[in-house]
Amino acid sequence: MMQQTLFDKIWGFHRVARRADGRDLIYIDRHVLHELHAHHAFAQLQKQGRPVRRADLTFAVQDHTVASKLGRDDNTNPSGSAFIKAMREGCRINHIRLFDVDDPEQGISHVVAPELGIVLPGATHAVPDSHASTVGGVGALAFGCGTSELAHILASQVMALKRPKNMRVQLDGRLAVGVSAKDAALRVIAEIGVAGARGHVVEYAGAAVRAMPIEQRMTLCNLNIEMGGRSGFVAPDDGTFEWLARRPFVPQGAEWDRALRYWRTLTSDENAGFDREVRLDCTTLEPQITWGTDPSQVVGISGSVPDPAALEPGRRAAAASAFGYMDLAPGTPLLGLPIDRVFIGSCTNSRLPDLQVAADVVRGRHVAEGVIAMVVPGSSSVKREAEAAGLDRVFRAAGFFWGESGCSMCAGGNGDRGRPGERCVSTTNRNFENRQGPKVRTHLASPATAAASAIAGRIADARHLAPGTA
């Protein structure tokens, strides 16, 4: 039999039919909505008189527009309230389980779905959000989609897709202490560019990936779209199964045992062919940070803003336009660059271990004068666990704002935004112009780098931070 990749196997299992137009109908095992898209899709179905086929496999989470202020409600962010209420009503009518604003398990969909065990290894998953593949960290195959496709899935429980190609990103060696999945992912994007994985589903493999805790694998898969990938995942292993065991929505008892036997078969065959392969040795990798306005404009933290002449010809125009927006000149070192704001959160880096790493940097220190620093946990569960571990007190004592969970300042859809001209170190996924607020200059980095920079008031390497006072 032909050697298959894990993607081939999951795709093959979930292929329901080939549509007359040549697209494959791929069954979606778990579908999660959020409030920015949901009302359009509900309205479309209502107009067409089409019911939701599998409300029992569908979930909804209020995440993009919810305020992060403690004690928030529907109206704390006035521009979100219509979306929040419309999704609530749509879920009520269609009998969809909603994680509402005040639900103890509300959060960012990509954080909530895995932590409750809603997504499973070898399962397909769809979210009307480009960071859907975050859940690839537990070995699920996830697709981001638009609003029309969302309505399509609600009505049929399948997506009509053209089959993507296979790609493997092999991370060899071992990440040094203080270097994380965020740094490895940024380096890969830097190497292959913002469209380097377009049309491909990426399997992340190699010793450095195997050594990553599940939350780090989710960070890695989260950033897959920033190099244009259609989806991305890590094949599940014992670490995955241990991480998922006993979460509320996973199969229980004898069915868990049966599922586990199946999940252990979820690997790419040894000689399976990939259309594209990329390798990176992580051993000498240092923390990475973006200097420009797309996620491929990355340097090691000890590096400098590049000279365009040293870049590939295809990247020079983008670099030239980024210098002005970022107010940076070629040759400027990143370390020591004064900053105004720090954001720790988003589907990329807001899980408990991310907050622990940041808290370890911050403990006994204080945010530099003039810097506004925020921590927004990825889910209300993460927030509760962090508070139980005392992390909220560490952050607040250091001068950080501690918020309620949601997407917050990643895209600013909830009103959390920087002011024009501010320079912000952010653990998010996009450094696009104006994304975190008009004229805000975003530098993407790991939680450790963001935390260290908040303390120093400048871009800083957490591994070399001056000793704290406590």
Partner 1 sequence: MQPFIRHTGIAAPLIKDDINTDQIAPILHSRGLKEDYRAMLFHRARRREDGSEDSDFVLNMPQFRNAGILVTGENFGAGSSRESAVWSMLANGIRVIVAKSFADIYRENCLQNGLLPVVLGAATCEQFIARVVAADGQASFTVDLVTQRISGPGGPDLAFEIPAADRTRLIEGLDDIGLTLKHVDEIASWEARAQTVQPWLQSARDSR
What is the secondary structure of 351-392 as a DSSP string? SHHHHHHHHHHHTT--PPTT-EEEE--SBHHHHHHHHHTTHH
Interface segment toward partner 1; rule CB under 8 A; list 17-25, 334-342, 351-359, 375-383: 17-25
Token pair in block for residue 400: 């950080």
142 makes contact with partner 1 (CB under 8 A): no
- The end-to-end CA distance of the chain, in Å, is 63
- Figure out which of the listed residues 7, 8, 11, 36 binds partner 1, where binding follows CB under 8 A: 36
Q: How far is the CB of 349 from partner 1 (least distance, A)?
A: 18
Which x/- pattern over 152-191 shows residues binding partner 1 (rule: CB under 8 A)? x--xxxx-x-x-x---------------------------
Binding mask 438-457 for partner 1 (x = CB under 8 A): xx------------------
Cβ neighbours of 464 (radius 10 Å): 12
Structure tokens at 433: 């112009």
Paired with 374 in beta bridges are 343, 401
Q: Rounded to an integer, what distance in angstroms lies between the CA atom of residue 214 and that of residue 210?
A: 9
Q: How far is the CB of 300 from partner 1 (least distance, A)?
A: 23
Site for partner 1 in 251-270 (CB under 8 A): 251-252, 255, 258-259, 262
Q: Does 294 contact partner 1 by CB under 8 A?
A: yes
CB closer to partner 1, 150 vs 448? 150
Using CB under 8 A as the binding rule, whether residue 356 contacts partner 1 is answered as no
The residues with which 205 forms a beta bridge, in sequence order, are 170
Instruction: Find the shortest distance in angstroms from Cβ 10 to partner 1.
Output: 11
Q: Which residues of 146-158 are buried (b: 16+ CB within 10 A; e: fewer)?
A: ebebbbbbbbbbb
Q: Which residues contact 75 (CB under 8 A, 6 or more apart)?
A: 81
Task: Order the strands of the 97-99 sheet from edge to edge.
Answer: 97-99, 58-61, 30-34, 124-127, 141-144
Which of 12, 51, 104, 248 touches partner 1 by CB under 8 A? 248
Tell me whether residue 226 or residue 354 sits nearer to partner 1 (CB atom): 226
d(CA 251, CA 320): 53
Closer of 252 and 283 to partner 1 (Cβ)? 252
Cβ–Cβ under 8 Å, residues 348 and 381: no
- Quote the least distance from Cβ 92 to partner 1, whole Å: 17
The answer to the question of residue 302 lying near partner 1 (CB under 8 A) is no
Give 266's DSSP letter: -
Binders of partner 1 among 421-440, rule CB under 8 A?
A: 430, 432-435, 438-439
Residue type at position 66? V
Residue nearer to partner 1 on the CB measure, 210 or 439: 439
Q: Is 107 in the site for partner 1 (CB under 8 A)?
A: no
Q: Which of 69, 165, 198, 366 binds partner 1 (CB under 8 A)?
A: 198
Per-residue x/- marks for partner 1, 382-411, CB under 8 A?
A: -----------------------------x
